């Protein structure tokens, strides 16, 4: 019931690297088995992760200009109104949740993950990740007790400047909305269509199908499966952590938290070995109600890079923005094989 459809295009050039003899180059177009949206594998090997040493950014001058460093976080960041959260900020261990001064939505908060200005991937350990996600979930629950009008919960993360993150001090976006964005909406609608057509949860089917095929199945933990995406959204691929039996914020328990942090830490170990130091992430919860049947909790993690460190061009260009067509320069299947060593 899950089809992985591909189409190969080919073009011929006279190749200057081989005395202008004819050379045929192939591009693979793939179609997402849930949404039908296309993406392509092209430009193989032409983009490599660029590793930047950002420890040099951790200076007193940079910290003094950072709103999330102490003491600025208490003086220049906004506070929640007392009817929502007496005290203004939600504290959990070393993390705190604050309102976004430039909100995207009705409830648009930030989890400041650490008091440290720079937290390299090596230090995004399981305890650090658990504390951050726990703080975000506490905020979700806090709002859910007071306001049920906004059913969609997402945690988004821009880590380091290639991802579009404007501040290097690590922080996650904690968003509660009735307008959850195109990707979320399309994913939810297509999951519902699949459920109505086949009577099954697509996410459970995807995990078991990928496990049997052994092409993009990185590994599993007790309650989650981890995959490389068949149609990645990023030039350096995309990774999925799927929790088939978990749906809403109300199902997100200690085991789920532990596995989410554990899976991410393994992925980050791979990133470190591959020279990747920036990513976008989305963690998508189902809304309470009917969608619980067909939409499982899932995380999508997309590595990002500058194309080079001289001009620092973005890895998002007209293909992705104007044509709305993601392209990837690696093979998800080869990347999966590499990742298995970290599982």
What's the min distance (Å) between Cβ of 88 and Zn ion? 19
For residue 171, state whether it binds Zn ion (rule: CB under 5 A).
no
Does the footprint of Zn ion cover residue 169 (CB under 5 A)? Answer: yes
93, 73 in Cβ contact below 8 A?
Answer: no
Instruction: Please report how close the Cβ of residue 170 comes to Zn ion at its closest, in angstroms.
Output: 9
- Which range touches Zn ion (CB under 5 A), out of 80-88, 113-121, 172-180, 310-318? 113-121
From edge to edge, which strands make up the β-sheet containing 5-15?
Answer: 5-15, 21-31, 38-41, 327-328
Burial classification of residue 250, based on how many CB atoms lie within 10 Å of its CB (0-12 exposed, 13-18 middle, 19 or more buried): middle
H or E stretch covering 90: strand 90-92
Binding status of residue 230 toward Zn ion by CB under 5 A: no
Asked if residue 270 binds Zn ion (CB under 5 A), the reply is no
Report how far residue 76's alpha carbon sits from residue 81's, in angstroms, rounded to the nearest whole number: 15
Confirm or reject binding of residue 47 to Zn ion (CB under 5 A).
no
Q: Which of 34, 41, 42, 69 binds Zn ion (CB under 5 A)?
A: 69
Closer of 171 and 266 to Zn ion (Cβ): 171
Number of residues that bind Zn ion (CB under 5 A): 5
Paired tokens of 76: 């220049």
How far apart are CB 45 and Zn ion at their closest, in Å? Answer: 36
175 touches 107 (CB < 8 A):
yes
Q: How far is 302 from 300, CA to CA, in rounded Å? A: 7
Answer whether 246's CB lies under 8 Å from 45's CB: no
Which is nearer to Zn ion, 121 or 295 (by Cβ)? Answer: 121
Binding mask 115-144 for Zn ion (x = CB under 5 A): --x---------------------------
Residues lying near Zn ion in the complex (CB under 5 A) are found at 66, 68-69, 117, 169
């Amino acid at each position: 019931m899950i089809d992985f459809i591909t189409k190969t295009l080919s073009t011929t050039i006279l190749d200057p690297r081989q005395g202008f003899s004819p050379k045929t180059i192939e591009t693979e177009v793939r179609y997402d088995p849930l949404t039908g949206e296309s993406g392509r594998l092209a430009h193989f090997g032409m983009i490599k992760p660029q590793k930047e040493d950002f420890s040099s950014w951790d200076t007193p001058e940079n910290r003094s200009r950072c709103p999330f460093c102490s003491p600025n976080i208490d003086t220049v960041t906004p506070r929640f109104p007392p009817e929502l959260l007496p005290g203004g900020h939600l504290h959990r261990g070393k993390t705190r949740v604050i309102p976004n001064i430039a909100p995207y939505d009705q409830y648009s908060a930030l989890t400041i993950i650490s008091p440290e200005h720079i937290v390299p991937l090596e230090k995004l350990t399981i305890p650090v990740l658990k504390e951050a996600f726990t703080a975000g979930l506490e905020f979700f629950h806090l709002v859910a007790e007071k306001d049920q009008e906004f059913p969609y919960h997402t945690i988004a993360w821009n880590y380091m400047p290639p991802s579009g993150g404007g501040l290097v001090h690590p922080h996650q976006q904690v968003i509660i909305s009735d307008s959850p964005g195109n990707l979320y909406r399309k994913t939810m609608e297509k999951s519902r269509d699949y459920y109505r057509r086949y009577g099954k949860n697509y996410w459970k089917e995807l995990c078991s199908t990928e496990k049997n095929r052994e092409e993009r199945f990185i590994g599993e933990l007790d309650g989650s499966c981890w995959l490389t995406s068949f149609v990645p959204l990023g030039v350096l691929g995309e990774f999925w952590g799927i929790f088939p039996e978990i749906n809403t914020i109300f199902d997100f328990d200690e085991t789920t938290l532990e596995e989410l942090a554990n899976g991410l830490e393994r992925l980050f170990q791979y990133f470190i070995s591959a020279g990747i130091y920036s990513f976008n992430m989305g963690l998508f919860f189902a809304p309470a109600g009917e969608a619980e049947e067909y939409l499982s909790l899932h995380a999508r993690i997309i590595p990002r890079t500058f194309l080079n460190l001289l001009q620092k061009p973005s890895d998002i260009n007209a293909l992705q923005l104007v044509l709305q067509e993601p392209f990837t320069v690696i093979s998800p299947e080869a990347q999966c094989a590499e990742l298995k060593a970290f599982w």
